[in-house]
C-alpha cells in the first residue's frame, strides 16, 4: 500500500490548451464544479471494445477513418493486437487484416471464470476478480483473449496498489504484444512513496535487463532511492532516446521529477511541460499531469495545480492509487485558497471512490475534522 509523502511541497473537452496558456477565467469555481459533475459520465463513456458473452462466432464492429457508417463482421478473430485485427469471415473463409484503430467493439465467447471476473471487478470485489482472472487464464486457449485477461489482472493489481505483481503481469502482456492497446496500464511510480523490499529487489532486476520496458519500470521504482537513485536517473536519461516514442515520452516526464527536488521551477518551464504533455499519446498523460500538478503546488499556484491533478481521477484513473492521491492533493490545493465547497466535494469523492486506499482514510479524517469544527462553533 502507498501513502502520501508527509512533506507537502510543497478539461475536459477538445480545448486541451486551455490550461496554462492564458490567465484562468473568472468562472474558475464554476468550471471546477462542471468538471466534478462530468466525472462519472466520462469514466464510463470513454471505454474501448466491449467484452460480452456471445454465440459461437465473434462479432466485430468497424468504423473506417473518415466514415460515419459502421460495418458489422461475423466470423473468427484470429488475432487482435494494438496494431491490427486479423479476422476470418464466416462467408467464404476469407482472412482480412484491419487496423486496430478502426475497431469500435468486439463480442466474443468467454469462459465462466472470465465473465465472473469482469462482474467481480465491476462490483469492486478485486480479490475475487483476480482469482477468477487467474483461473480464466488457465482455461482460455486463444492468445488474443489471454492478453485481455492479463490486462485485467494488471488493472486488479493497480487497484490494490501491488506494483510488483502489476509489473510482472504487464511484462508478460508486453512480450506477447509490444503494440498492446493496454500500454497505458504500465505500472510506473510517479510520487514519493515507501516501496517494500520485494518491489525494490524486483526493480533492481528490471533495471539490469536489456528490455527497455523493464528498465523503465525499474528506474521509476528506484528513482530517488538513497542507494540506487543515481543509477535510476541515468537509466531514465538513456531511455529518453528510445525509438519507442511511448518509452521516450514517459522517461522524459519521469525526469521532470528531478526538477521538483531541485525547486525554482519557472512559469516558462511549466509552459514547456504543458506543451510537451499535449504532444504525448493521449492515454499516457496521467503521470505527467501529476508531475505538472506537483510543480504548480511548489509555485503556490493552487488552482492551476488542482486543474492539472484532476485529470487523473477524471480521465486517467487506471492507476487507482495515483488517481486517489491526485484527487486528494487537488482538494488540499483548493482548500488552501478558500474554495471549501469544491474541496469538500473532492474529499468526499476520494473517500467514496477509493475506499481501499490510504488516501480515502485521510480524506475521511479531514471531513470529520471539518464537520467537528463547524459543529463546535
Axis-axis angle for helices 28-45, 302-309 (nearest 10): 10
Q: What pLDDT is stored for residue 49 in this prediction?
A: 45
Number of domains in the chain: 2
Q: What pLDDT is stored for residue 144 in this prediction?
A: 98
- CA 89 vs. chain centroid, Å, equals 35
Q: What pLDDT is stored for residue 192 in this prediction?
A: 86
Query: 166, 187, 208 — which closes off a domain?
Result: 187
Give the predicted TM-score (pTM) of the model.
Answer: 0.84
- 158: CB partners within 8 A, 6+ apart: 166, 185, 187, 318, 319, 320, 321
Q: Say yes or no: 79 and 94 in one domain.
A: yes
What string of DSSP letters covers 202-224?
Answer: HHHHHHTSS-HHHHHHHHHHHTT
Instruction: Give which of 279, 271, 287, 233 is closest to 255, Cα–Cα.
Output: 233
Query: 187, 206, 224 — which closes off a domain?
Result: 187
What's the Cα-to-Cα distance from 107 to each of 76, 89, 202, rounded to whole Å?
A: 10, 14, 37
Tens-digit pLDDT profile for residues 298-315: 999 999 999 999 999 999
Q: Which residues of the chain have pLDDT under 70?
A: 1-55, 92, 375-377
Q: What pLDDT is stored for residue 36 in this prediction?
A: 53
Supply the CATH number for residue 172's domain.
1.25.40.10
Domain assignment present for 212: no
Supply the CATH number for residue 62's domain.
2.30.30
Domain span including residue 103: 54-66+73-108
Amino acid at each position: 500500500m502507498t501513502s502520501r509523502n508527509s512533506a507537502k511541497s510543497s478539461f475536459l473537452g477538445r480545448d486541451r490548451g486551455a490550461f496554462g496558456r492564458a490567465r484562468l477565467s473568472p468562472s474558475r469555481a464554476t468550471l471546477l464544479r462542471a468538471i466534478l459533475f462530468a466525472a462519472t459520465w466520462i469514466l464510463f463513456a470513454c471505454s474501448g471494445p466491449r467484452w460480452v458473452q456471445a454465440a459461437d462466432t465473434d462479432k466485430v464492429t468497424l468504423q473506417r477513418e473518415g466514415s460515419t457508417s459502421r460495418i458489422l463482421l461475423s466470423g473468427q478473430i484470429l488475432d487482435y493486437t494494438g496494431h491490427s485485427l486479423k479476422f476470418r469471415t464466416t462467408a467464404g473463409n476469407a482472412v482480412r487484416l484491419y487496423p486496430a484503430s478502426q475497431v469500435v467493439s468486439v463480442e466474443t465467447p468467454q469462459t465462466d471464470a472470465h465473465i465472473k471476473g469482469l462482474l467481480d471487478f465491476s462490483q469492486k470485489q478485486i480479490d475475487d476478480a483476480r482469482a477468477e482472472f487467474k483461473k480464466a487464464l488457465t482455461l482460455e486457449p486463444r492468445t488474443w483473449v489471454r492478453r485481455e485477461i492479463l490486462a485485467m489482472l494488471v488493472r486488479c493489481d493497480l487497484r490494490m496498489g501491488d506494483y510488483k505483481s502489476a509489473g510482472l503481469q504487464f511484462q508478460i502482456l508486453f512480450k506477447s504484444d509490444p503494440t498492446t492497446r493496454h500500454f497505458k496500464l504500465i505500472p510506473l511510480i510517479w510520487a514519493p512513496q515507501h516501496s517494500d523490499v520485494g518491489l525494490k529487489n524486483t526493480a533492481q532486476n528490471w533495471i539490469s535487463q536489456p528490455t527497455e520496458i523493464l528498465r523503465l519500470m525499474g528506474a521509476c521504482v528506484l528513482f530517488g532511492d538513497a542507494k540506487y537513485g543515481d543509477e535510476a536517473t541515468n537509466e531514465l536519461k538513456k531511455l529518453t532516446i528510445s525509438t519507442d516514442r511511448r518509452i521516450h515520452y514517459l522517461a522524459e516526464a519521469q525526469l521532470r521529477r528531478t526538477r521538483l527536488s531541485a525547486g525554482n521551477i519557472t512559469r516558462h518551464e511549466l509552459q514547456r511541460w504543458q506543451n510537451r504533455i499535449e504532444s504525448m499519446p493521449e492515454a499516457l498523460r496521467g503521470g505527467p499531469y501529476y508531475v505538472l500538478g506537483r510543480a504548480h503546488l511548489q509555485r503556490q499556484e493552487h488552482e492551476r495545480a488542482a486543474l492539472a491533478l484532476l485529470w487523473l481521477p477524471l480521465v486517467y484513473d487506471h492507476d487507482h492509487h495515483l488517481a486517489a492521491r491526485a484527487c486528494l492533493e487537488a482538494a488540499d490545493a483548493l482548500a488552501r485558497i478558500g474554495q471549501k465547497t469544491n474541496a469538500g466535494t473532492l474529499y468526499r469523492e476520494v473517500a467514496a471512490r477509493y475506499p481501499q486506499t490510504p488516501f480515502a482514510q485521510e480524506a475521511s479524517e479531514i471531513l470529520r475534522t471539518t464537520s467537528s469544527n463547524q459543529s463546535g462553533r
